């Protein structure tokens, strides 16, 4: 999923720069809309993951633990590229206040990852193992195994910050050129 996000983002970004070249105001608007939409998506995904760092925990039992894979094929300039992304698929049981629950979530925001990462996470959580399960105190059925932000979250945030600054700079530049063209009385 992360690779789709990056690919689509780069294609749209190239389109925005083309628009900026020929129609600066349209390019600026398109870039601003794109960045604001990506900001919203990132924030919507980061908030619950960040809040999970304070969740209470209980002991759970892993009943399913596998590496998942997804292949994507792209065709460009006569070349075919096949790319495989990996993830994890869990199912675990746990108990909160005498009530039994089953959950499947590893993290709120799951990005595609390398095969080595997915294998490492699955190896750390084999079927039959006891794990620490973190649950939402307002809704104990809402649980996950990995809380808080990780390096991928931080990298996405920093990357988006760079693009926010770029769009702000382009608006500043555009308005600066417009102001310098205004005749002085």
Split into its structural domains, the chain has a count of 2
Q: How many helices (H) and strands (E) does the chain have?
A: 4, 5
Residue 113: CB atoms within 10 A of its CB come to: 18
Please give the mean pLDDT across all residues of the chain: 83
- Residues 70 and 131 reside in one and the same domain: yes
HSE-CB at 118 with a 13 A cutoff on CA atoms is: 19
- Residues 60 and 142 reside in one and the same domain: yes
HSE-CB at 148 with a 13 A cutoff on CA atoms is: 5
- Residues 67 and 122 reside in one and the same domain: yes
pLDDT, tens digit, for every residue of 117-175? 999 999 999 999 999 999 999 999 999 999 998 887 888 888 888 888 887 887 777 77
- The answer to whether residues 45 and 1 touch, using CB atoms and an 8 Å cutoff, is no
- Residues 131 and 75 reside in one and the same domain: yes
Q: What is the pLDDT of residue 119?
A: 95
- Residues 178 and 104 reside in one and the same domain: no
pLDDT at 107 over 90: yes
> Strand 79-96's sheet: what is its strand order?
99-103, 79-96, 57-76, 130-136, 139-144
- Residues 123 and 74 reside in one and the same domain: yes
Return the structure tokens found at 133: 């399960």
Provide the domain limits for residue 47. 1-53+148-185
- Residues 74 and 118 reside in one and the same domain: yes
- Residues 77 and 122 reside in one and the same domain: yes
- Residues 44 and 102 reside in one and the same domain: no
**Nearest-5° Cα angle at 111, 107 to 113:** 110
- Residues 74 and 15 reside in one and the same domain: no
Q: What is the pLDDT of residue 141?
A: 97
| Farthest CA pair distance, the chain | 81
- Residues 108 and 133 reside in one and the same domain: yes
pLDDT at 10 over 50: yes
Q: In the predicted model, what is the mean pLDDT of residues 81-104?
A: 94
- State the pTM of this model: 0.72
Q: What is the pLDDT of residue 42?
A: 82
What's the CA gap between 162 and 9, in Å, rounded? 13
- Residues 29 and 45 reside in one and the same domain: yes
Give the pLDDT band (50/70/90) at residue 1: very low
pLDDT at 82 over 90: no
């Amino acid at each position: 999923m992360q690779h789709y996000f990056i690919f689509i983002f780069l294609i749209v970004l190239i389109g925005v720069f083309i628009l900026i070249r020929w129609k600066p105001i349209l390019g600026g608007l398109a870039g601003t809309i794109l960045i604001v939409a990506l900001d919203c998506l990132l924030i919507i995904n980061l908030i619950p993951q960040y809040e999970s760092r304070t969740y209470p925990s209980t002991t759970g039992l892993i009943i399913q633990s596998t590496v998942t894979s997804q292949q994507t094929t792209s065709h460009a300039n006569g070349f075919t590229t096949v790319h495989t992304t990996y993830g994890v698929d869990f199912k675990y049981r746990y108990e909160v206040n005498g009530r039994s629950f089953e959950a499947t979530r590893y993290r709120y925001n799951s990005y595609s990852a390398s095969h080595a990462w997915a294998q490492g996470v699955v190896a750390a959580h084999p079927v039959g193992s006891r794990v620490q399960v973190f649950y939402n105190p307002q809704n104990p059925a809402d649980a996950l195994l990995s809380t808080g932000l990780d390096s991928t979250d931080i990298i996405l945030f920093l990357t988006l910050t760079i693009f926010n600054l770029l769009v702000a700079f382009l608006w500043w530049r555009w308005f600066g050129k417009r102001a310098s063209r205004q005749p002085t009385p």
